[in-house]
């Protein structure tokens, strides 16, 4: 079994064993949306003492930037897939 490595938190930069935080609700995107890696402290802080609605709105700019990056790569994936399908005919 491979040993798990510490990585840097995408929010605070602290090296830790990270948690996956889904930027878009798993219930809507079936867990296929963008994911950010947060240290346990940032992940807990993000969800602590906030309602679900408040949690969706905190760090709005942080989440918008992550979503934009994911969406651009998703569109690129679709375009490349369409080009490959067209070339294979």
What's the pLDDT tens digit per position in 15-47?
A: 999 988 887 777 666 777 788 899 999 888 877
Q: Distance of CA 34 to CAs 11, 24, 25, 30, Å?
A: 15, 7, 10, 11
What is the reported pLDDT for 17? 92
pTM, two decimal places: 0.49
Task: Tell me the C-alpha distance between 47 and 54, whole Å.
Answer: 9
Task: Tell me the C-alpha distance between 77 and 69, whole Å.
Answer: 12
What is the reported pLDDT for 73? 81
């Amino acid at each position: 079994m491979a040993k798990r490595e510490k990585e840097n938190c995408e929010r605070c930069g602290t090296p830790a064993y990270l948690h996956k935080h889904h930027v878009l609700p798993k219930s809507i995107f079936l867990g296929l949306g963008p994911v950010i890696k947060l240290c346990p402290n940032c992940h807990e802080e993000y969800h602590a003492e906030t309602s679900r609605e408040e949690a969706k709105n905190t760090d709005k700019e942080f989440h918008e930037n992550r979503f934009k990056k994911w969406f651009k790569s998703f569109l690129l994936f679709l375009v490349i897939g369409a080009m490959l399908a067209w070339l294979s005919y």
